[in-house]
Amino acid sequence: MRVALLFIDGVGVGARNSEVNPLADRELLLSQFDDGSGTTLPLGGRRFDVDTTFGVPGRPQSASNQTAILTGQPAPKITGEHLLGYPNAPLKKLITEHSVVRKVVAAQRTATFANAYPAAYLDALKLRRRPSSSPDVVIPEKYLKRIKPSASTLSMAAGGVELRTFDDARAANGLTHDIEGRVARRRVDVPERTADEAAAIFWKLSADFTLFEHYLADEAGHAQDRGGAIDALETFDRFARVVIATRPDDVLLMICSDHGNVEDLSTRNHTLNKVPVLVFGDSPKMPALQTVADVGNTIVSVLT
């Protein structure tokens, strides 16, 4: 059995209220609501609404909850706080010790990250990467010390996985963060792709554990940008539907988020809502899904 994870930042289970929730008047996979209603999932897909707060006061944040997802550990509870942005020293320590990628690789299984990055960014962070013919971006010296690694790149680094560059995106061996390339092309020379093409690339490069990360919905939520939110959600949905339709029988596919945000555009803040975990395929090793950390526990349980 293999595992694939499509991660989308900032999408919770909100109210079926189209005035504040751009998911409410659309039949998207993530149009799942707090009254129990929602889009019927294709091909036997199942929905689990999971906690994002871990009982810690305050609003859930990306650094701590993405760490929870990618370690299977209750990161906010362990550190006693919700941390936004990028992992700090305690979270980095958690990732180094408990990364699901590290555990998968230690079990003699393979792992890969479908996202492609500028080579200069990966080099500035001293992260292992695949070959690149150019840096793609030039980072001014004064900004180099401000660059920080995400939970996802740190998790892959803990397992010794080489990260993909934009050369991989150009060669159809990786995906830009926006999936179809329209946003990425504003800054770098990468091709535009259809959802079908992106899904084919995702499965072509897949390993025992395969991760793809999409964060534009969260950005739109913070900006209270309804148009941007709809574009990000619909782009992700087109891609995810093809990934589901073409899922190999031996793959457990999960779609998850880290916290709520875009489902309530009345505020710029993250929400306290649960997030949906959508599961396609099955494994007797899959644990109960109660918090976002159980996504990571599922990866480890199935693959080790």
Query: Bridge partners of 256?
Result: 7
Distance CA 231, CA 97 (A): 37
> What's the CA gap between 166 and 120, in Å, rounded?
10
Domain locations along the chain: 2-61+100-142+162-303
Beta bridge partners, 46, equal 279
Model confidence over 127-184: pLDDT tens digits?
Answer: 999 999 988 888 888 888 889 999 999 999 999 999 999 999 999 999 999 999 999 9
Query: Taking the chain, what is the end-to-end CA distance rounded to the nearest angstrom?
Result: 10
pTM of the model: 0.97
pLDDT of residue 140: 84
- Token representation of residue 135: 């840096």
Judged on CB neighbours under 10 Å (0-12, 13-18, 19+), 5 is buried
- CATH 3.40.720.10 corresponds to the domain 2-61+100-142+162-303: yes
How many angstroms separate the CA atoms of 191 and 180, rounded?
A: 8
Close Cβ partners of 86 (under 8 Å, ≥ 6 residues apart): 63, 148, 149, 150, 151
pLDDT per residue over 168-200, tens digit each? Answer: 999 999 999 999 999 999 889 999 999 999 999
- pLDDT number for residue 293: 98
pLDDT tens for the chain, 304 residues long, are: 999 999 999 999 999 999 999 999 999 999 999 999 999 999 999 999 999 999 999 999 999 999 999 999 999 999 999 999 999 999 999 999 999 999 999 999 999 999 999 999 999 999 999 999 988 888 888 888 889 999 999 999 999 999 999 999 999 999 999 999 999 998 899 999 999 999 999 999 999 999 999 999 999 999 999 999 999 999 999 999 999 999 999 999 999 999 999 999 999 999 999 999 999 999 999 999 999 999 999 999 999 9
